[in-house]
């Protein structure tokens, strides 16, 4: 591949990740804002004394679910010496992805060993935001180290980022698989075991196919790019799962977000690997 063609290809990938990442973040914030506004309006309409508590809870939800990726985006942006007009947004998006997976990894696997019980990724309990703080500290350290590099690699080729990003996501997948096996082996399996079957299959399929399509050299580089592509679909499914599907049953609350995640992921693959997004503008 000629150097000019390779550079154009890299810039195209940066643009695609930036556009999809920004779109997902805006969609997630919009969903949370609508749900929060609707709940607070409903409580005030009926003069509920829980309105003030709800406002406080939603404020903490914002701290644990929205502020960490936003702060990580700023860290990625500030640590970048741009070679492309999209690289600031690209690195910011990847740092936001990493912060979310780190937050989930710490909340689900580290927090139980410290506190004795699992902390949800997004929590309305102020004491439960410490996994997000730890994730941000790790993100800041990686950002500082990346910013100190005189000749910066692409962020997706930077080893500390690759390890923090890929290990946290793959550990979540492995942890989900172990939990499913444990539930199936139990004489009294819970409903939770059945609820994680489809999300687990979704995570595995997205990572495996994205890995197969990656043209990067080296296992770790291919795995990192696969995790980036899979993250787009998984975050779309996570955002869609925040929408209440009243009256449609638990299965719908799993199937519909998974379908949305797959559609967004397929669209991302199409533009990332095959269609030049800069030709659309």
Concatenating the DSSP letter of every residue in 49-87 gives TTHHHHHHHHHHHHHHHTHHHHHHHHHHHHT---SSTTH
User: Would residue 124 count as lying in a domain?
Assistant: yes
The pLDDT value recorded for residue 121 is 47
- The rounded distance, in Å, linking the Cα atoms of 53 and 124 is 10
The pLDDT value recorded for residue 280 is 45
User: Would residue 69 count as lying in a domain?
Assistant: yes
- What contacts 116, CB < 8 A, 6 or more positions away? none
For residue 46, the 8-state DSSP code is: T
Contacts by 117-124, CB closer than 8 A, 24 or more apart: 121/64, 121/65, 122/61, 122/64, 122/65, 123/60, 123/61, 123/64, 124/57, 124/58, 124/60, 124/61
- The rounded distance, in Å, linking the Cα atoms of 14 and 88 is 9
User: Would residue 16 count as lying in a domain?
Assistant: yes
User: Would residue 269 count as lying in a domain?
Assistant: yes
The pLDDT value recorded for residue 244 is 66
| H or E element at residue 155 | none
Indicate the number of domains in the chain.
1
For residue 154, the 8-state DSSP code is: P
User: Would residue 9 count as lying in a domain?
Assistant: yes
Can you give the residue range of the structural domain that contains 217?
Answer: 3-276
Longest dimension (CA), the chain: 67
Q: How far apart are the first and last CA of the chain?
A: 24
The pLDDT value recorded for residue 255 is 82
User: Would residue 281 count as lying in a domain?
Assistant: no
**Cα separations (Å) of 10 from 57, 75, 84?**
42, 21, 9
pLDDT tens figures, 72-97: 988 888 888 766 678 888 999 999 99
User: Would residue 249 count as lying in a domain?
Assistant: yes
SS3 at position 244? coil
- Two structure tokens written together for 80: 């970048």
User: Would residue 111 count as lying in a domain?
Assistant: yes
Q: Which stretches of the chain score pLDDT less than 50? A: 121-124, 247, 277-281
The pLDDT value recorded for residue 281 is 44
The pLDDT value recorded for residue 166 is 93
The pLDDT value recorded for residue 131 is 82
CA dihedral sign of residues 166, 172, 176, 181: positive
């Amino acid at each position: 591949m000629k150097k000019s063609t390779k550079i154009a290809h890299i810039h195209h990938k940066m643009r695609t990740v930036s556009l999809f990442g920004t779109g997902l973040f805006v969609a997630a914030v919009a969903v949370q804002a609508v749900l929060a506004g609707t709940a607070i309006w409903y409580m005030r309409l009926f003069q509920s004394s829980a309105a003030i508590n709800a406002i406080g809870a939603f404020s903490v939800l914002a701290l644990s679910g929205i502020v960490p990726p936003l702060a990580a985006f700023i860290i990625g942006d500030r640590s970048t010496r741009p070679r492309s007009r999209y690289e600031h947004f690209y690195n910011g998006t990847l740092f936001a992805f990493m912060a979310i997976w780190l937050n989930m990894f710490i909340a689900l696997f580290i927090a139980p060993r410290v506190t004795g019980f699992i902390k949800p990724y997004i929590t309305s309990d102020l004491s439960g935001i410490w996994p997000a703080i730890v994730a941000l500290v790790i993100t800041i350290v990686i950002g500082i180290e990346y910013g100190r590099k005189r000749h910066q690699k692409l962020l997706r080729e930077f080893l500390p980022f690759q390890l923090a990003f890929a290990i946290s996501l793959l550990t979540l997948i492995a942890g989900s698989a172990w939990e499913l096996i444990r539930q199936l082996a139990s004489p009294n399996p819970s409903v939770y075991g059945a609820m994680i079957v489809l999300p687990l299959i979704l995570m595995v399929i997205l990572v495996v196919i994205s890995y197969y399509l990656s043209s990067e050299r080296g296992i770790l580089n291919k795995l990192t790019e696969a995790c980036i592509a899979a993250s787009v679909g998984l975050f779309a499914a996570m955002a869609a799962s925040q929408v209440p599907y009243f009256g449609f049953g638990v299965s719908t609350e799993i199937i519909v977000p998974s379908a949305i995640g797959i559609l967004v992921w397929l669209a991302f693959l199409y533009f990332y690997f095959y269609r030049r997004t800069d030709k659309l503008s």
